[in-house]
Amino acid sequence: MTATDDTGVENPKVKPPRQSAAGVPAVMHALEYSLEQTSLVRTAINLLNINQTNGIDCPGCAWPEPEPGKRHKNEYCENGAKHINDEATTRRITRVLPRALHLRAGGEVGACGSTSRAG
């Protein structure tokens, strides 16, 4: 009997783990997403403080952080970076959105966003 992986390949090769989970592409994607949510300065402050000593605990990481002094400046997962910058977003809801969400059945916006069917 031979070992197979879930794709049906016989005798799969096992390699030692990489030093990083995803590397530069993941950091760049997190940076791109973060800049859509916040300013450059706010993005830098948030990303450079995730999983650092006296920093923000990454909400997306399932593994423990390395000991202080052994942490990389980008010691977080891509999803954690997205979560942090979602919370720090500078985007705000205006009065237009609640009114747009309160549409009447016929597609008309009621007075002050009202959805009542008076009359």
Rounded Cα gap, residues 19 and 27, in angstroms:
14
Are residues 42 and 82 both part of a single domain?
A: yes
- Tally the domains of the chain: 2
pLDDT in tens, 80-109: 888 888 888 888 877 777 777 765 545 555
Backbone angles phi, psi at 103, to 5 degrees: -90, 145
Are residues 69 and 110 both part of a single domain?
A: no
pLDDT in tens, 53-77: 888 887 777 777 778 888 777 777 7
Are residues 45 and 29 both part of a single domain?
A: yes
Are residues 83 and 97 both part of a single domain?
A: no
Q: Please, which pLDDT band fits residue 33 given cuts at 50, 70 and 90? A: confident
Rounded Cα gap, residues 82 and 73, in angstroms:
16
Alpha-helical runs (H) found in the chain:
24-37, 40-49, 78-87, 96-101
Q: Taking a C-beta distance cutoff of 8 angstroms, is the pair 49, 56 a contact?
A: yes
When the pLDDT of each residue in the chain is averaged and rounded to a whole number, the result is 74
Are residues 97 and 82 both part of a single domain?
A: no
User: Domain limits at 109?
Assistant: 93-119
User: What is the separation, in whole angstroms, between the first and last Cα of the chain?
Assistant: 78
Are residues 82 and 36 both part of a single domain?
A: yes
